[in-house]
A and B are shown apart, each in its own frame.
Chain A
Amino acid sequence: MKNIILLAIGIIVLSSCKQEGDFNLNFKGLFKDDALVLNQAYELDDISVKFENLGFLLTDISIVNDDNESVELADAEFVALNGVDQAGAEAGQVLSYNNIPTGTYTKLKFTIGVPEDLNATVPGDYAITDPLGRSDYYWEAWGSYIFSKTEGNADVSGDGVYDLKFFYHTGSDALKRSFELDREIVIDKNSTSTLELFLDYNELLRNADGTAFDIEASPRNHDPNKLEIVTQLVDNYARAIKVRS
């Protein structure tokens, strides 16, 4: 898991003649350099934590080529980083897009969270199986989708019992974050190129000064008047997202 950042895209080229190829976005959870396995202990500075439920809504996913032409891949996707063992964690979740025009693309764009127009809709507007049809990712009181969930258990006293339950749910228009990653993505005909995106939860649960969240003092965030901790969490995406191809 070293050298996560950078590198060229690996492509398996198969033969064919159509001018379209496939593209996979492969999301994986990380804790520092390790694939993040749910319910396994990780040290967040001096607190031992186990993650239990990690997921988010990803929207407006597109790739852009040199001529600034973009190809929309999806309006909305649901990503759950729910690997319960090493193999599952290393596999992550794959979002597959077929029939992408061949060529060299230089940017990947996406938003974690839901853009305002879609955030004005509700799960009842969709099919029950759509990402935005998920009622567990909608919160009436906020009038918003829940953009991401980071839930787990912490052992704050060091007695080996993970009895402090924490959850950070992000949501409401101000907390969506959009990203443009400069990355060469080559789509070749009849082949699949894969881009791996990692989300490092060790980076996510940190204050601006780099210290770990005080999970004991603020284990949960349902008070709409206390948005500091979840605002910090979404601001941390920029450094928590790591790319490898």
Chain B
Amino acid sequence: MTNGVDLTEIDYAPKTYPIAIPDHFPTFTIPDDNPITEDGVRLGQHLFYDPILSLDSTVSCSSCHLPEKAFTDGVAVSTGVNGNVGRRSSMSLINIAYAFNGLFWDGRSNTLEAQAIEPVQDPLELIEDWDNVEEKLRRNERYQTLYRKAFGISNSDEITRDLTVKAISQFERILISGDSKYDRVEYGTNAAYTNEELNGRDMFFDADPLTPDAECGHCHNGPLLTTQQYINNGIQQVEDLASFPDKGRGEVTGIIFDNGKFRAPTLRNIALTAPYMHDGRFETLEEVIEHYNSGGHFAENLDALIQPLGLTEEQKSDLLAFLHTMTDTSYLTNPFIVNPFD
């Protein structure tokens, strides 16, 4: 009944992938129906970097999620197949396994598996049809082997979108970073901040009564440097709650008070992920700090913590120095993470 290729000759010997979770990190849940195996990650890694998922084989996940930019793309809003320009900025995928409060800037997707369905068919991203993707993968010898090894399928016809998003999700769950200077100083034993960094740190976490409270830590708290809450941080000037150009969370919940709220992203590797905010409106971290220092634009749902901070030039540069301690690119040495086609 099936016309696919028999794969039973290929070895299927799944081995658990040894995820290294830093001691100071929380744990996260791996779905029972998608355990992380070395071959599963290997498959996900290939899919992630392979333009085969796109309509014209020009764009892959990694086109907008570049490993050296902490899996963002360096532009304000992303460009997909045919040069179609999206409306939002790409998001870092670092420590994405910890997402528990919804994915995307607005939280419209709940699991990595569900999320990965979207880019393929998104008219502004890969614009491909999942039936075609399945066909292309089934005919591809490399993928016949990779799917067999990852999931033990016995025939190439068993390659499905479901297995595809599972493999991509396994790959995404191993994108863990917890070895920045920030981690080593806060949670390790023999690293120390410079004076500037320490001063910035104390403002970030309101830890020193002698320096202004910059309040950052309330929304970008450690160790993951995000609380994953939906917040209006005051970047958008609006007449009223109905007039946000991008309603963000409100688009998902339908609640007007959620308009203009976006998920507070991680600040891990923030020095690598310019430009900033959901629409990439700020080119530099200096501009971001200037925004927070100003107190942002009023709206009824502007978060109470966003208020004029009164930072001096020196304090702003100290805060910036602290943000630079959050960079960690050690994951780039992991052969399971980098581009397998290079």
Contacts and interface: CB of A to CB of B under 8 A. Distances in A.
Interface of A: 38-39, 50, 52, 84, 123-130, 133-136, 138-141, 151, 153, 161-163, 165-167, 219-220, 222-225
Contacts of B29: 127-129
B300 A128 contact: no
Contacts of A166: 304
A195 B105 CA distance: 37
Given A39-B257, A167-B304, A224-B209, A140 B26 contact: no
Interface of B, helix, strand, loop or mixed by DSSP:
loop
Contact of B206 (A133, A138, A222): A222
Contacts of B27: 126-128
Contacts of B228: 136
Contacts of A50: 300
A124 B206 contact: no
Give the 6 A-B CB pairs with smallest separation, nearest first: A165-B304, A136-B227, A135-B221, A128-B26, A141-B207, A140-B205
Given A124-B26, A163-B298, A220-B304, A38 B223 contact: no
B257 A38 contact: yes
A166 to B, nearest CB: 7
Contacts, number: 86
B302 interface: yes
A121 to B, nearest CB: 11
25 contacts: A52-B257, A123-B26, A124-B24, A124-B25, A124-B26, A124-B222, A126-B27, A127-B27, A127-B28, A128-B224, A129-B29, A133-B26, A135-B221, A135-B223, A135-B227, A136-B218, A136-B227, A136-B229, A140-B205, A153-B300, A161-B300, A162-B300, A167-B305, A222-B206, A222-B213
Interface residues of B, number: 37
Interface of A, helix, strand, loop or mixed by DSSP:
mixed
A165 B234 CA distance: 13
Given A135-B222, A136-B218, A163-B298, A151 B304 contact: yes
Contacts of B303: 165
Nearest to B258: A84
A144 to B, nearest CB: 13
Interface centre among A126, A127, A128, A165 (most CB of B within 10 A): A128
A44 to B, nearest CB: 16
A222 B216 CA distance: 13
A133 to B, nearest CB: 5
B179 to A, nearest CB: 14
Contacts of A165: 302-304, 307
Interface string B14-45: 00000000011111110000000000000000
Nearest to A138: B221
A219 B298 CA distance: 17
B216 to A, nearest CB: 11
Contacts of B209: 223-225
A45 B226 CA distance: 37
A138 B218 CA distance: 8
